[in-house]
Amino acid sequence: MTFVTSKRNKQSINNLKNITMKTIAVPTRDQVSENNQAIFDNLQKGLGFVPNLYATFGYSKNGLGTYLNLQNAASSISKKEREVVNLVVSQVNDCRYCQSAHTVLGKMNGFTDEQILEIRKGEASFDAKLNALAVFVKDTTENRGRASAESVENFFAAGYTNENLVDVLMVIGDKIISNYLHAITQIPIDFPVAPVLEEVYA
């Protein structure tokens, strides 16, 4: 089938290229609800600062608390496995903010710089079980949930359970939310900026 692009459609496409996206500023404590102010205070105490992405969730009276509850929910997967999911999803979605934040968290959970870069590629040659997880997460995220039978089978063959499957998908969903929020808002990265993977392996 051949698609014909009219002059009007071409003009519309060119006009879209010239549109400047609205700038969305990171809200301050004074600009969010009282409930979110309390959450800001807890983040400040626990982390020493309020990450810009969390602060941006604060535009919603309920969004920040709901998102943090999802992030902090009990899970059958370990913190280390969670970081594998976070790093892979953030790489697939090209979220520089989350790549940077989870590089820091990945190191805190015992990964080296080299291992983190490999995980971002969707691999973990240093650990067979984590490799199966990384491959499955990359396949699932790239294909919008339609993972191949092979990656699913390898996921279970590596020792993961049905419960783990559900919990991994929960973390994928969690990370997609934050990836999309940053993609739209482009708020400043307030973590050491992670290297561009393509440049590292060029």
Total number of domains in the chain: 2
Are 153 and 192 found together in one domain? Answer: yes
List the domain range (segments joined by +) for residue 35: 26-71
Distance CA 60, CA 36 (A): 9
Distance CA 112, CA 19 (A): 41
Task: Read off φ and ψ for residue 135, nearest 5 degrees.
Answer: -65, -45
Are 111 and 156 found together in one domain? Answer: yes
Distance CA 50, CA 39 (A): 9
Is-contact 163 135, C-beta < 8 A? Answer: no
User: Which tens digit of pLDDT belongs to each residue from 24-78?
Assistant: 999 999 999 999 999 999 999 999 999 999 999 999 999 999 999 999 999 999 9
Residue finishing a domain among 55, 71, 87: 71
Q: Write down the mean pLDDT value for the chain.
A: 93
Residue 22 confidence (pLDDT):
76
Provide the pLDDT confidence category of residue 143 given band limits of 50, 70 and 90.
Answer: very high
Mean pLDDT, residues 5-15 taken together:
47
Cα 36 to chain centroid distance, Å, stands at 22
Are 50 and 92 found together in one domain? Answer: no
